[in-house]
Amino acid sequence: MVNRRSFLQKSVVAGATLGIASCAPSALRLAEKQLNIQYSSRYLPKLRISLDRVVKETVGLRPYRTIGPRIEKETLGSKTLVHNYGHGGSGWSLSWGSAELATKLVDSSWASENSIVSTATDAMALPPGSARKVAVIGCGVIGLTTARALQRRGYEVTIYTKEMAPDITSSKATGTWSPAHRLIDSSNVNDTFFEQFKQMHQTSFLSYQNLLGLGNLVVWTDSYDVRQDEASLAHGDLPANEKYNFMEVLPKPKRLADKEHPFRAPVVYRRTSMVFNIPSLLKMYTDDFLRFGGTVKIQEFKRLENLDALPETCIVNCTGIGAKRLTDDPHLTPIAGQLAFVIPQQEVNYRIATQSAYTINRKDGIIVGGTHKMGSWETTPSHEDTERMVVAIKKVADTMYT
Ligand SMILES: Cc1cc2nc3c(=O)[nH]c(=O)nc-3n(C[C@H](O)[C@H](O)[C@H](O)COP(=O)(O)OP(=O)(O)OC[C@H]3O[C@@H](n4cnc5c(N)ncnc54)[C@H](O)[C@@H]3O)c2cc1C
């Protein structure tokens, strides 16, 4: 096989005999770079990252529940209350699947109250005037996807919420496919949890594939794990087990040879995963909800009993970390996560993950993250954290081969 470099050298020498030899060394570099662009991942557009390019900092509170998300039904006075909260660092990833499970619980409560078999077809077939009204509390990604899933099954939905985007945790997420991130304490993982997780995982994954190609709402992107050694690589938050192989929906990570990447680091893996452009998705979910007849009312509920005053007989609680105070849930605790938004670079279509910080290439910025403060309710950004994360990424970016 022809060695690539010798092929290039021969080409340049051939070029020289044709009278373009005066710039032979730089022509060689240029030709090599072009080949790299076309045929390998050695060339990646340079990340321009520095503290003076940071335009926004946020802190969001991941609603982490040590025993996993709460998706269950209870009776509250004369109402049926369906809970759908506590998705930790996985709420975006699992939202559609979780919404589907909550909707089934609403269906079942309606079926038992009204002695009907509740299916999507039945809902559509209801005579006019007999609309089944459901209240959803919360307008984050869990509330919005639940409201849309209910609408699709023929329910008339009103969202009651204290706040909307961009003042909610869902707006302060990085937005990657991370279905098992800070989702449950691994000592509490059992078969019941996994059955529920499997359903959420599958439904959500497919839902996101259906959003591909709708502008840039959801995109597949390459992520480079840049490390000093193998030991520092995270292998996911849930135990690896053959039984749970359904999680392997993504292409396998590949360890790259030196020539296959532009980073100056001994260990580099490439993974391919999804990125969610969060502001566009939240807008689309809200617009769709309103377009299909939904209503949003701004209202805060201080106590669970206050829900009894609502006109709807079935209520879905999608209050995220707000459920801590509302339901007094002892298993729920915040994990604070800070993000720094760096001026967007449209040409940057890859992610970097180091041991202490990561980037996400979104349309609204190069997002830098990497903090997990268990039990912290603090939502004021720390400039020290921003500096630490940005410097960690800058170190990698500044030494990239270009
Ligand atoms: C830094 C960071 C990065 C993350 N990255 C990812 C990621 O890459 N991938 C991923 O899948 N997940 C990620 N997450 C997790 C994800 O953001 C959350 O799991 C998800 O946003 C939770 O959604 P939610 O709708 O339950 O909560 P929220 O978005 O907080 O929505 C809750 C809603 O309930 C309302 N509410 C609360 N209390 C009351 C009340 N008493 N009365 C009325 N309304 C109330 C609020 O106003 C709000 O509208 C990340 C989170 C953070 C913080």
Nearest residue to 95 (alpha-carbon basis) of 224, 250, 221, 274? 274
User: Looking at the domain assignment, is residue 45 inside a domain?
Assistant: no
Kindly state if the Cβ of 167 falls inside 6 Å of ligand 1. Answer: no
User: Looking at the domain assignment, is residue 25 inside a domain?
Assistant: yes
Together in a domain, 321 and 350? yes
CA of 265 to the centre of ligand 1 (A): 35
Instruction: Write down the pLDDT at residue 231.
Output: 75
pLDDT tens profile 83-120: 999 999 999 999 999 999 999 999 998 766 554 443 44
Instruction: Write down the pLDDT at residue 250.
Output: 83
Together in a domain, 34 and 55? no
Kindly state if the Cβ of 85 falls inside 6 Å of ligand 1. Answer: yes
User: Looking at the domain assignment, is residue 46 inside a domain?
Assistant: no
CATH number of the structural domain spanning residue 61: 3.30.9.10
Q: What is the DSSP letter of 128?
A: T
What is the residue with the minimal CA distance to atom 51 of ligand 1? 173
Kindly state if the Cβ of 97 falls inside 6 Å of ligand 1. Answer: no
Here the tokens at position 278 are 């969060």
Instruction: Write down the pLDDT at residue 229.
Output: 85
User: Looking at the domain assignment, is residue 344 inside a domain?
Assistant: yes
- Give the separation between CA 229 and CA 10, rounded to whole angstroms: 38
Together in a domain, 27 and 143? no
For the chain, how many structural domains are there in total?
Answer: 2
Instruction: Write down the pLDDT at residue 54.
Output: 98
Q: Which residues pair with 60 in a beta bridge?
A: 337
Instruction: Write down the pLDDT at residue 117.
Output: 40
Give me the sheet containing 156-161, strands edge to edge: 70-76, 79-85, 314-317, 133-137, 156-161, 295-298
Kindly state if the Cβ of 262 falls inside 6 Å of ligand 1. Answer: no
Nearest residue to 161 (alpha-carbon basis) of 315, 26, 327, 10? 315
What is the residue with the minimal CA distance to atom 41 of ligand 1? 301
User: Looking at the domain assignment, is residue 237 inside a domain?
Assistant: yes
Together in a domain, 20 and 167? no
Instruction: Write down the pLDDT at residue 244.
Output: 57
CA atoms within 13 A on the CB side of 140: 30
Here the tokens at position 78 are 């004369």
Together in a domain, 198 and 263? yes
**Is 172 within 8 Å of 339 (Cβ atoms)?**
yes
Together in a domain, 83 and 30? no
What is the residue with the minimal CA distance to atom 12 of ligand 1? 90
Together in a domain, 382 and 340? yes
Nearest residue to 147 (alpha-carbon basis) of 312, 320, 321, 292? 292
Q: Give the Cβ contact number of residue 23 at 10 Å.
A: 13
pLDDT tens profile 205-218: 999 999 999 999 99
Q: Which residues of the chain have pLDDT under 50?
A: 1-23, 35-39, 115-129
Together in a domain, 335 and 304? yes
| Pairing of the two strands 314-317 and 332-342 | unpaired
Which contacts of 237-245 are long-range, i.e. CB under 8 A and separated by 24 or more positions? 237/180, 237/181, 237/182, 237/183, 237/186, 238/180, 238/183, 238/184, 238/186, 238/189, 239/186, 239/189, 243/194, 244/194, 244/198
User: Looking at the domain assignment, is residue 349 inside a domain?
Assistant: yes
CA of 115 to the centre of ligand 1 (A): 35
User: Looking at the domain assignment, is residue 44 inside a domain?
Assistant: no
CA of 236 to the centre of ligand 1 (A): 21
Mutational pocket test of ligand 1: of 170, 306, 351, the residue with most ligand atoms within 8 Å of the beta carbon: 170
Together in a domain, 233 and 131? yes
Amino acid at 320: G
Through-space distance between the first and last CA atoms of the chain, rounded to whole angstroms: 27
Nearest residue to 377 (alpha-carbon basis) of 331, 336, 332? 336
DSSP reduced 3-state for 311? coil
Instruction: Write down the pLDDT at residue 40.
Output: 52
User: What atom in ligand 1 is closest to the CA of residue 93?
Assistant: 11
Kindly state if the Cβ of 362 falls inside 6 Å of ligand 1. Answer: no
User: Looking at the domain assignment, is residue 196 inside a domain?
Assistant: yes
Q: Would you say the pTM of this structure is higher than 0.85?
A: yes
Together in a domain, 97 and 186? yes
Containing structural domain, residue 234: 51-398
Together in a domain, 264 and 380? yes
What is the residue with the minimal CA distance to atom 19 of ligand 1? 91
Together in a domain, 58 and 29? no
C-alpha distances in angstroms, 72 versus 111, 160, 250, 360? Answer: 16, 20, 29, 33
User: What atom in ligand 1 is closest to the CA of residue 139?
Assistant: 49
Q: Give the Cβ contact number of residue 1 at 10 Å.
A: 4
- Give the separation between CA 399 and CA 402, rounded to whole angstroms: 9
Q: Is the torsion defined by CA of 225, 372, 285, 132 positive or negative?
A: positive
Instruction: Write down the pLDDT at residue 124.
Output: 42
